[in-house]
Structure 1
C-alpha cells in the first residue's frame, strides 16, 4: 500500500502528534511505501526568546526515518499560542502528493497543513483518514481568543468531514467532535513503549539528587511548559514541606513557572532512557491540564509503575481508574483537592499493589497492535472507496 502521511507536527519537535506519527511510521515502513509531508525542524529564527535553542533529532528518530521520503514545509510560532508551531502548506507539498499517487492519505492532527492536504486529497480523488489529536478550539478558549473559538470548531469539522474516517483517541473527544458535527468517528487509542518505560528504571541516586535527606515524597509532571497544561496548579504541592515537586519539560513558560513554583526542581526536557529513569523514580505523577485529547504521559507513568492524578476531563478519563491506578479530580476544584488526594495515594497501605495495577493497565498496549488497527481502517476505507468509484453494474432489462 502507498501511504502519504501529512503531519501537522513532527520530530524533532516533541509532542503527542509528533511521537504518534513517528511510531506509526515505524510500524508502516515494514510493509508499505511511505511519503511524509511535515514541518521542518524549528530554526532559531522561528523560536520565541524563551525558546532560545533549536531542537535536534533524537538517534531513535533518525533511525526510524532513515530511507523515508520526507517533504518539508515551513513552520512558524504564532503568538499568543506560542507552544505549538504552525505548519505552512506549499505548492511543493501538493506536487509531491500528486506525483506520489498514494492509495490513501493519513492526516496527523490536521489543522493548517493537514487541512490543505484534506482538500488536496479530495481534489485528487484520494481517500483520507484523519487522526484527531489537538484540541485547537480548547486552546483558543484557554488563550482567551473567543472570536476564534467558534471558527476553529467550524474549520475542524470541515476538515474532518472531508475525510473518510476520523480516528479519535478518547471518549471525551469523540463526544465533543460528534457534538460539533464531525461524522464517521472511530476510536483509536495509543500504544506505549513498555520496554523503555519500566519500573526497573528506578534510580536511588537520582532520587537522592532530588531529595538529599530522603524524607520527601517525589511528585512529578512531564510535558510542555505551556499555559494549556495548567502546571501552575501544582503550587499547593510545591508549598507542602513533605513533597518535592519535579518538573520535566520545556516551553514558553519555562522562565515563569519557577517564580510560581519556587521550591520545584526543573529538569528541562528529557528523552529516552533519561526520561524513563525519571518517571520510574517518582512516587506519584500529576497531569494538571484539561485539554488533553489523550495524554500519553499518563500511559508512560503507568508503564513505569507510577499512579497518576489528573482532572476529570479529556483523555485521562479513559486512562485512569480512580482508586486503582490513580485518581480523577473535579476540574473546578482540582487545585483545592490535589494535596489531599496526593497524600491519600502516597500514604495508601496498598500503594505497591496500585503500582502493579498501573503496569497491568498498559501491558497490552503495544504500538504494533495500534499500528495494525490503523492499517485495518485504511483497508476498510479503500474497500468503500472502490465500491463508490466502481458501483456494481445493474443488468439491463430484457
Structure 2
C-alpha cells in the first residue's frame, strides 16, 4: 500500500515530528509499505530514503513563527502532487492547512488525520490559565472545535496517541477518534542500562551525596513544558529531603529557567545529550523522571523513562498522563506546584534499582497497528466503491 503523509511540520531541524517521520521511513520496507512524505520546503525536490520510502518537498514560504519550518499555502500544488503520487491512503499530520488541503482533495482515497499537536492544550488553555476554565475556553474557541468536528466527518479516522486527547475529541463531538499510542526505539531504553556511577556523578554535579534522590527532566525548553514549575517544586521538596534535579535541554525559555534556578546548587541545567545510548544510560540511572507538560500528544520522554524502569512524575493529562497510571500517587494536577511537591515526596528515599522492568511498547508495534488500521480502512473503501 502506498501511503502519502502530507506533513506540514516536517523539517530536518525539527523535533518530535522529525523523529517520528524518520522512524516511519526506516520501517517502511520492513513492514511492506511504500511511504512518501509530502512536505513543504525551500525548493522542489525528492530525497530517496530507501527503495520503499522518500521525502518529496514542495517549494513553500517560511513558517512565520519559526524559520526552520516551511508552510503549505497552495492547495493546487498539494493536490497536483497527490495526483502524481497516486496514493492508496493519505495521512495529514496537523489540524491546520495540510489537513484542510487533504480534506478537500477530490479523489476518493481513504484518509486519516494524526493529531501530532494539541493546540488548545498547548496554547489556549495556557494563555487563559487562571482566568477561565478549559470548558469556558473551549466555548470561546468553538471555531476550532467546529473545524475538528468537520475533519472528523471528512477523514476516515482521527488518530490520537493518548487516551486523554481521544476522550476530549469524543466529548467535543469529533467522530472517528481512536487512540493508538506511539512507542520507543526497541532495545535502546532498558533498566539494564542503569549505572550507579552515572547516578553518583549526576548527584555530585548537584552537590549532593549518593543517598540523595536524583530527578531528571529532558526536552525542549519551551513555555508549555513548564520547567520553571518543576524547578520551584524540586526546590521546595528539597527543603524536606536531599533532592537533585538535572535538566537536559535547550530552547527559548533557557534564560527564564536560569533565573528561576537562581543559583540553587541542587538544580542543574545542561545541554541536551544527543548520543542516544548515553542518554538511555542517564535516564535509567535516575530515580525518576520529572515532567511538567500536560499538552503533549504522546510524551515520548515519559515513554522512554517508563521503558527504562524508572518512575514518572507527571501531570494527570496529556500524553505523559498515560504513564502515571502505573504509579497514581506520582501523578499531579496540571499547573499545581504544590501538588508536584507532594508527588516528588511520594518517591522512596535514594535509588530505585529494585524496580521491576515494565513491558515497553516499541515504535515498530505502533506502526504495525497503524498500517493495519489503514489497510482495513482502504479495504472497506474498496468494498463500498
Which bin holds the TM-score, normalised by the shorter protein? 0.7 to 0.9
Matched, 1:170 2:171: no
Matched, 1:185 2:177: yes
Report the Cα offset of residue 203 of structure 1: 4.3
**Match 2:316 to one of 302, 312, 319:** 312
Report the Cα offset of residue 75 of structure 1: 6.8
**Match 1:282 to one of 274, 286, 292:** 286
What does residue 337 of structure 2 align with? 335
Change (3 A) 1:228 1:175: same
Query: Secondary structure at the residue paired with 1:255?
Result: helix
What does residue 56 of structure 1 align with? none
What does residue 134 of structure 1 align with? 117
> Is contact 1:7–1:108 with CA below 8 Å preserved after alignment?
yes
Report the Cα offset of residue 298 of structure 1: 1.0
What does residue 267 of structure 1 align with? 270
What does residue 51 of structure 1 align with? none
Deviations 1:65-91 (A, max 9, x none): 345331224474555xx6995632444
Matched, 1:10 2:10: yes
Change (3 A) 1:13 1:156: farther
Change (3 A) 1:103 1:139: same
Matched, 1:87 2:87: no
Change (3 A) 1:281 1:115: farther
Deviates more, 1:288-297 or 1:265-274: 265-274
Change (3 A) 1:276 1:139: same
Change (3 A) 1:323 1:348: farther
* Ranges in structure 1 where 5+ consecutive residues have no aligned partner: 42-61, 390-398
Give the paired residue count. Answer: 356
What does residue 36 of structure 1 align with? 37
> Is contact 1:127–1:385 with CA below 8 Å preserved after alignment?
yes
What does residue 108 of structure 1 align with? 93
* Ranges in structure 2 where 5+ consecutive residues have no aligned partner: 129-136
CA distance in 2, matches of 1:75, 1:336: 44
CA distance in 2, matches of 1:266, 1:148: 37
Change (3 A) 1:205 1:14: farther
Query: Secondary structure at the residue paired with 1:189?
Result: coil
Query: Secondary structure at the residue paired with 1:374?
Result: helix
Report the Cα offset of residue 159 of structure 1: 2.8
> Is contact 2:294–2:321 with CA below 8 Å preserved after alignment?
no
Query: Secondary structure at the residue paired with 1:8?
Result: coil
CA distance in 1, matches of 2:228, 2:61: 28
CA distance in 2, matches of 1:265, 1:72: 40
RMSD, aligned CA: 3.0
> Is contact 2:11–2:68 with CA below 8 Å preserved after alignment?
no
> Is contact 2:249–2:271 with CA below 8 Å preserved after alignment?
yes
What does residue 365 of structure 2 align with? 369
Report the Cα offset of residue 385 of structure 1: 1.1
CA distance in 1, matches of 2:310, 2:377: 38
**1:164-243 paired onto structure 2 within 5 Å:** 164-204=156-196, 206-212=198-204, 214-215=208-209, 216-234=212-230, 235-239=232-236, 240=238, 242-243=242-243
What does residue 252 of structure 1 align with? 252
Deviations 1:374-397 (A, max 9, x none): 1211121112211222xxxxxxxx
Deviations 1:169-192 (A, max 9, x none): 222111111122211122211121
Task: Report the TM-score, using the length of structure 2 for normalisation.
Answer: 0.82
Change (3 A) 1:83 1:331: farther
CA distance in 2, matches of 1:77, 1:258: 29
Report the Cα offset of residue 322 of structure 1: 4.7
**Match 2:382 to one of 378, 382, 386:** 386
Matched, 1:24 2:19: no
